[in-house]
Structure formats: structure tokens, C-alpha cells
Structure 1
Amino acid sequence: MKWKAKASIALLLCSSVTAAGFMLFSGDDSGLAKVHDGIESQFTEVSHIDGDGLSALNQENTILFDVREAPEFSVSHLKGAIHVDPGMSEQDFIQQYADLSKGKTAIFYCSVGQRSSDLANRVQKALISSGAKAAYNLEGGIFKWHNESRPLFTKGTERTSYVHPYNPIWGRLVKDQENTRY
């Protein structure tokens, strides 16, 4: 299954060249929107929520899952997010987080939404069966959140303006290149 996701990303990268010869990775949200469209078509059973929708939710009834690698999470994350290994099995996820999610809306995010949509797709039915209200993927991931100048945190409640760019190619979707850190 993972090879299909990687093949989809590779196809998206190869097909993202415009007539002018520039890649969609231009640091504006049109590139993120195109990536998100591809994610939505790949994960048709996953619901998505944008930054405004997430901000409007009651924080006490929301649980955030950051589905990135540990070095990405250590640079910055959304306030109160729980770091989750992107390759975590459905069984391990439910065993560790079902009780914490009871009565809450679960939000999954990663850099752009690929890894988080994959995990949400694998665990959402079991999570909701275990008592979660709903499960969503954050549209555009932490990159869009950062591009919209929304708050990011590191080490508890310490605010930061930095975001991990994942790699030099995907990092081009971040508008403020001065605030990327590996």
C-alpha cells in the first residue's frame, strides 16, 4: 500500500510542471491546494478541515495528532499536538490513543497532508467506534498553517516561527523560507 502512496506523490511531482517550466512548489498556497486535491482524490473516505475550522473547534474537545518524524515535530508543531509515528499500525494507534480520543474530535496533520491522511484513513473507523466524535485531516498540513501565520510551538508552550520543510523540494511550499529549520 505504501508504494501506491509514494507512486502517487512521484506522479504528482512529475506532472506538476507548468507550461512556463516552473514547478507548482512556488511557496504560495496554489501549490498546496493542488497537492491537497491529489490527497483528497487518493483518500476519498477521509474528511478534511481547514485552519479556520480547526481554530473554531473547542480545544478541550479536540485532540491533535502530528504525523511527522520526530525531528520535524521538534522544530515546531500545533499547540498540544501528540507526536505519532507515520508508520504506526492501526492496532497500536487504537491501543495507545482510543481512550484519549473518547468524546473528542481527532485532527491529524503532517507537512502537507499525505502522511496524516494515510494514518487517518487507516484508523478513523476504529477510532470513532472507540468513542471519538469525528476524525479529520488538516487541509494543507502544517505548511498551510504556517503560511497563514497561525501559531506554532516547540517544547511545550514556547512559541516559534519556524517550520521543518520536510525536504528541499516539499519545503518550497512554505512561503517564508527564512523560517524553515531542519
Structure 2
Amino acid sequence: MKTAHDLVVAAKSRVQEIPVQDAEQAIREADVLVDVREADEYAAGHLPGAVHISRGLLEFKFSGAPALQARDLKVVLYCKTSGRAALCAGALHDMGYLNVQSIAGGFDAWAAAGKPVAKPEAPSFD
């Protein structure tokens, strides 16, 4: 029986992971940057310009949104440490997407490298 770790290792063997030092260039060249973490993780801080599509809804959102249906769309994915993003990249490849990358090390590696993080501001009631 395969474990979650086995599935991530298999996914990483067939998807393109980009090192965090190359991520900014890949993001500039991408059509869409997708954060596949859960909503609370995204709300706590995310890469600037990222849209949130949690892993559980990814295939449905890509299938249902006309702006995401072109199979030559350039997609960059990330999660917390890169496991979920690799699984998502594999799923998108299975759906026929041709230009999918995930960020090695995910959000944690991005933040540790001192890269910018967008955080929503709490409303002011002054």
C-alpha cells in the first residue's frame, strides 16, 4: 500500500519543480500563480499576486473557469512545503495542461528566503 509520502515522491518525479531562487522569474512569466493551501493558510500570508484554489477544488476550478481552461496556460503552483503542489501539478498534467511548475520548498522556502509575503490587513474600527 502506498503512503502519502510515496504519492508525493512519485508526483515530484514527473513534474517540474523550480528552485525558490528561480521562482520570481517563473511567476513573472506565468499566466496564473496558484496557492493550493487551505483558506486559513492563504489568509495568514501568501505570495503576492497568488490566487487561492485549495487542493481539493483544483480540478473542478480549472475545469469550470473559462479563464483557466487553455491547456497551454502557464501555471505556477505552491503549497506550504511542496508536497500538495506536486500532487496538484501531477493532476493538471493528467488533465492535459502543458506548462505547469511548482515551487520547491513551497511557501516556507519562499518566506525563509526573505521574499515578499502578502498579508491581509485587519480592518480598522477607529
TM-score scaled by length of structure 2:
0.77
CA–CA distance in 2 between the matches of 1:94 and 1:143?
A: 25
**CA shift for structure 1 position 127:** 5.0
Letter in 1 for 2:62: I
CA–CA distance in 2 between the matches of 1:60 and 1:152?
A: 19
Deviations 1:128-175 (A, max 9, x none): 2xxxx51011100000001100000023xx7xxxxxxxxxxxxxxxxx
Q: Would the alpha carbon gap of residues 153 and 122 (structure 1) be closer, same or farther in structure 2, given more than 3 Å must change?
A: same
Percent identity over the alignment?
Answer: 24
Which residue pairs with 2:3 in the alignment?
Answer: 4
Which residue pairs with 1:34 in the alignment?
Answer: none
Which residue pairs with 2:124 in the alignment?
Answer: none
Q: Mind listing any 5+ residue stretches in structure 1 that lack a counterpart? A: 10-37, 159-182
Name which structure has the greater RCO, CA cutoff 8 Å, separation 6+.
Answer: 2
CA contact 1:63–1:101 (8 Å) conserved in 2: no
Which residue pairs with 2:105 in the alignment?
Answer: 140
Letter in 2 for 1:99: A
TM-score scaled by length of structure 1:
0.56
Deviations 1:41-61 (A, max 9, x none): 331211101122221236264
The reply on whether 1:118 has 2:83 as its aligned counterpart is: no
CA–CA distance in 2 between the matches of 1:106 and 1:81?
A: 11
4+ residue stretches of structure 1 with deviation over 4 A? none
CA contact 1:146–1:152 (8 Å) conserved in 2: yes
**CA shift for structure 1 position 68:** 0.7
Root mean square deviation of aligned Cα: 2.7
The reply on whether 1:79 has 2:81 as its aligned counterpart is: no
Residue from 27, 38, 59 that aligns with 1:69: 38
- Count of residues in correspondence between the two structures: 119
Q: Would the alpha carbon gap of residues 152 and 48 (structure 1) be closer, same or farther in structure 2, given more than 3 Å must change?
A: same
Write out aligned runs for 1:30-179 (5 A). Answer: 39=8, 41-43=9-11, 44-57=13-26, 59=28, 61-88=30-57, 90=59, 92-97=60-65, 99-100=67-68, 102=70, 104-128=73-97, 134-155=99-120
Matched residue SS, 1:153? coil
CA–CA distance in 1 between the matches of 2:114 and 2:63?
A: 35
